[in-house]
Chains A and B, each alone.
Chain A
C-alpha cells in the first residue's frame, strides 16, 4: 500500500478532534471511537494540522531518533499516517 506523498499536509478529518486543547493525557476523538496515543504517536498526530508536510514530520522524527535507521523512521511514520487515513481519522 503506497503511503502519503511527502508533500501532503495531513490534517484531521471532519468530525475528528482532540478531547482537550492540549496536554499529554488528551485523547483523539472520532466517530464512535477514541485513541490515546503515547509520546511519538501523539507528537506525529499533533503535527497533522494541515500545515506540516509529511516530509517535515518525517525529518523531525529522524532528527529526534538520530540513532535509528532514517529509512525505517520514514517507513514507520508513513505506515502510521496511512493507518489513520484508512480509519478516516486523517485526510491527506
Chain B
C-alpha cells in the first residue's frame, strides 16, 4: 500500500558561499536562472501539505542565498508545514533571523565543519567558523529549536569530545554528528574522509558518554558510517516511501543523489502536480516496494527494515542500481567495501609504526565544489 510522504526536502538553490569537501549536492548543479520562483515554491508547499507532508526541510546549497526566504517560510507555514532551515548561517544577521522567526520559522539547523577554526575553514573552503560561533549566541535569543550539525570524518573525528563541548557551550538543544556519506563531492574526496576503525570505536565511546551526561540538556544523534556497518541504512526511509526532494529547478527526486542512476526520468513540478509525481512518476516507482529486489534482499528478513540499502550507493560502487547495497555484509559485492576499508586501515597501521601524522594520500588535496551562477 502506497504511503504518503512525511517530509519535503526543498533544495531552494545550489548557490552556496561554502565549498564543503563532503557536499551532497550533485556534481552537476542547477544554475541560478533555472530556480523555482516564490510562487512556484508556494504551490509546491501547498501540494506537499495536501499530500500529507508534515515537515519541510529548506536546504540547498545555502537557502539564505534566496532573498525571498522570509516569504517562503511564511508560505510554507501557511500551508501547514513545520519549517526546518538547514543552513551554514552565512548571510544571517540578527535582523534577518528575527524576520524569519516572525514569518514562522520553527527550527534552525546550523552546520559547523569542526571545532577548530583552521581545519573547519579548510573543510568548508571558506573562512566561516568564527562567524558561526557568533551566530550560535544570537540564535539562542530566539524561541526556536536550535540544532548544530557537524559532519565528521577522518580529519576531525579525533576531536569529537571537543566538538560536543563546543555544541554544548553554544547552547544547542540538539547535536547531530553525521559521519560523511559518500555521494557527490564526498565520494570525490573519500580517500581523505573515511575514518579508521580505531577512530570509529573511540568515537562511539565518546558519544555514548556524552549522551548520558547531557541527558535532558542536549540531545545527541550520531550517524555512523555505513561502510563499517553490518547492514545498510534504510536510505531515505525507503525509496519513494517517506521523503520527496525537489531540486532548485523543480525536478522531483526520491533522494539527493538519484540523478546518478542511468535511465531515470525525473518529472518537474513545473509540469506535474506533486501528487501525480509521488504516485505515478517513473523515478518514484522505480525502486518502490519489493518487486525490483535481487537476492539476497528478496528473501531477506530485513528487507522491510532496510529495503536493501541505498540504490545510489549500489550504483556508485557496483555500477548496478538494483544491486544489494555493497555495505551490507550479505551483499555479493561486499568485498569491495572490505577492500576499501582495508586500504584505509592498513595505511594507519603503517604510519602509526613510524609515529608520522596520519594521512593516506600524504598531502591532503581536496576537490572543492564550485558555486553555480
B140: nearest residue on chain A (CB-CB)?
A14
Within 8 A of A (CB), among B163-192: 173-174
- A30 to B173 CA separation, bound complex (whole angstroms): 12
B211: nearest residue on chain A (CB-CB)?
A86
A29 touching B145 in the complex, CB below 8 Å, given contacts A86-B215, A86-B216? no
CB–CB A13/B173 < 8 A? yes
Q: Which of the listed residues A27, A29, A88 has the most CB atoms from chain B within 10 Å of its own CB? A: A88
Residue B84 CB within 8 A of the other chain: yes
Distance in Å: Cβ of B289 to nearest Cβ of chain A: 24
Which of B6, B145, B146, B147 meets A16, CB within 8 Å?
Answer: B145
Within 8 A of A (CB), among B28-57: 54-55, 57
Q: Which of the listed residues A15, A27, A92 has the most CB atoms from chain B within 10 Å of its own CB? A: A15
Distance in Å: Cβ of B366 to nearest Cβ of chain A: 29
Residue A19 CB within 8 A of the other chain: yes
Name A's interface SS: loop
CB within 8 Å: A-B pair count = 58
Residue B307 CB within 8 A of the other chain: no
CB–CB B6/A34 < 8 A? yes
CB–CB B143/A14 < 8 A? yes
CB–CB A13/B145 < 8 A? yes
Distance in Å: Cβ of B264 to nearest Cβ of chain A: 26
- Identify 23 residue pairs between A and B in the complex whose beta-carbon atoms are under 8 Å apart, listed by A's number: A14-B146, A14-B173, A15-B106, A15-B144, A15-B145, A16-B145, A27-B54, A29-B54, A29-B55, A29-B106, A30-B145, A31-B84, A31-B107, A31-B109, A31-B145, A31-B174, A32-B107, A33-B55, A34-B55, A85-B215, A85-B216, A87-B219, A92-B216
Which chain A positions have C-beta within 8 A of B215?
Answer: 1, 85-86
- A33 to B55 CA separation, bound complex (whole angstroms): 8
- A29 to B80 CA separation, bound complex (whole angstroms): 11
Name B's interface SS: strand
Which chain B positions have C-beta within 8 A of A14?
Answer: 143-146, 173
Provide the B208-219 mask, 1 if CB < 8 A to any CB of A, else 0. Answer: 000000011011
Which chain A positions have C-beta within 8 A of B227?
Answer: none
Which of A32, A82, A85 meets B55, CB within 8 Å?
Answer: A32
- A82 to B216 CA separation, bound complex (whole angstroms): 8
CB–CB B107/A15 < 8 A? yes
Q: Which of the listed residues A14, A29, A82 has the most CB atoms from chain B within 10 Å of its own CB? A: A14
- A21 to B109 CA separation, bound complex (whole angstroms): 26
Binding site for B on A (CB under 8 A): 1, 13-17, 19, 27, 29-34, 82, 85-88, 92
Interface size class of B (residues with CB under 8 A): 20 to 34
- A11 to B46 CA separation, bound complex (whole angstroms): 30
B54: nearest residue on chain A (CB-CB)?
A34
Within 8 A of A (CB), among B128-182: 143-147, 173-174
B144: nearest residue on chain A (CB-CB)?
A15
Distance in Å: Cβ of B157 to nearest Cβ of chain A: 23
- A92 to B219 CA separation, bound complex (whole angstroms): 15
A32 touching B54 in the complex, CB below 8 Å, given contacts A13-B145, A14-B173? no
- A63 to B55 CA separation, bound complex (whole angstroms): 37
Residue B82 CB within 8 A of the other chain: yes
- A19 to B6 CA separation, bound complex (whole angstroms): 13
- A33 to B109 CA separation, bound complex (whole angstroms): 13
